[in-house]
Structure 1
Amino acid sequence: MQTWLKSFYRTAPATLIITSASIILWFVAAFQARSLTNVFNDSELVHNMMVWGPAFELGNQWWTPLSYAFMHLDIGHLTVNMFMLMLIGREVERHFGTVLFVALYISAAISSGLLILTLDFMSPTAGASGALFALMVLLVSVYRSRGADLRAPIVLVAVNVIYTFISAGVSLWGHLGGLFAGIILALCVTRKSAAFHWLGIIGLPIAAFFFYTAVGA
């Protein structure tokens, strides 16, 4: 296990750090709530990290369009998302490099968080799913750049989109926000110009914020 972790850290340090931070934060929340199945009601940490329109609008929790992506509401939610992050994040980080990967992850998380605030203002939301949807789209671009068979990553995206529409309790706009963010970011980072990469990474959450101010509550 130790050897595997060292190997993973050498190839995808940011993925491992984000995963570890999310797991640690969830265990803190579970300790506060004294529950492994529902940490929402009795964890102050969850309330401080989740994205929720009224708290954000008051300016009390301006950081939540990013912090929500590092918190999960139950152990099943955490397990699925961290498993997906370890698998997909490693491939995307190895391809784009750690600095660009971190920037892409943060940009996608903030953009999908702001879309939740805009279109689902009253729903308290937490989880890495929005950022993961963006990574799934970016994985398609990774496969395409390698000349690999695109069917597996495309099916992965399609299955998760279908799951979003047929399952209760998932954040529709968080998932779709991540999907849209992933498409925009993939179009930007597949260009040769580094300036274009950063224009997309920085410009996307800024555009999402202006969309929130124009359309939101």
Structure 2
Amino acid sequence: MQTWLKTFYRTAPATLLITGACIVLWIIAAIQARSLTSVFSNSELVHTMMVWGPAFEITHHWWTPLTYAFMHLDIGHLTVNMIMLLLIGREVERHFGTKLFVALYISAAISSGLLILTLDFMAPTAGASGALFALMVLLISVYRSRGADLRAPTVLVVVNVVYTFITTGVSLWGHLGGLFAGVILALCVGRKAPAIHWVGIIGLPIAAYLLYTALGM
């Protein structure tokens, strides 16, 4: 295990650190809630970190469009998302480099969080799924740049989109926001000019915030 962690850290340190942060924060929330399955309703940390329209507007929890992506609602939610993050994040980080990967992850998380506020204002939401949807799209870009078969990452995206529409209790706009963010970011980082990379990374959450101010509650 120790050897695996060292190897993983050398190749994808940000992915490992983000995963570790999510696990630690969830453990704290579970201890507060004294539960593995009802963390949402009984943890102050969850309430502080989740994205929710009234908290964002009334109590000025301005940080929540980012922090919600580091909090999960139960052990199953955490486990599935962290496995996906480890598998997908490692490939994306190795391809783009740690600095760009972190920027892409944060941009996608904030953008999907703001879309939740815009289109599902009253839905309290937490989880890395929005950022993970963006990473799935970016994984297609990674495969394409390598000249690899695109079927596997494409099927992964399609299956998760279908899952979003047929399953209750998931954040529709968080998932679709991450999907849309991933498409925009992939188009930007697919260009050779680094300036275009950063225009997309910085411009996307700004555009999402402007949409929120125009259409939000």
TM-score by length of 2: 1.00
**For the residues of structure 2 that align with 1:59 and 1:191, how far apart are their CA atoms?**
40
Consecutive unaligned residues in structure 2, runs of 5 or more: none
Name the amino acid aligned to 1:71.
M
What SS does structure 1 have at the residue aligned with 2:170? coil
Q: How does 1:55-94 map to 2 (within 5 A)?
A: 55-94=55-94
Call closer, same or farther: CA 1:157–1:17 in 2, change over 3 Å.
same
**For the residues of structure 1 that align with 2:108 and 2:60, how far apart are their CA atoms?**
22
Q: How does 1:16-35 map to 2 (within 5 A)?
A: 16-35=16-35
**For the residues of structure 2 that align with 1:82 and 1:38, how far apart are their CA atoms?**
19
**For the residues of structure 1 that align with 2:190 and 2:58, how far apart are their CA atoms?**
38
1:152 offset after TM fit, Å?
A: 0.0
Name the amino acid aligned to 1:67.
T
1:38 offset after TM fit, Å?
A: 1.3
Question: 1:62-109 CA distances to partner (integer Å, 9 max, x unpaired)?
Answer: 000000000000000000000000000000000000000000000000
1:59 offset after TM fit, Å?
A: 4.7
**For the residues of structure 2 that align with 1:7 and 1:190, how far apart are their CA atoms?**
28
Question: 1:172-195 CA distances to partner (integer Å, 9 max, x unpaired)?
Answer: 000000000000000000000000
1:60 offset after TM fit, Å?
A: 2.4
Residue matched to 1:48: 48
Name the amino acid aligned to 1:115.
L
Q: How many residue pairs are counted as aligned between the two chains?
A: 217
Residue matched to 1:203: 203
- Runs in 1 of length 4+ with deviation above 6 angstroms? none
Residue matched to 2:181: 181
Residue matched to 2:12: 12
TM-score by length of 1: 1.00
Consecutive unaligned residues in structure 1, runs of 5 or more: none
Identity value in percent: 82
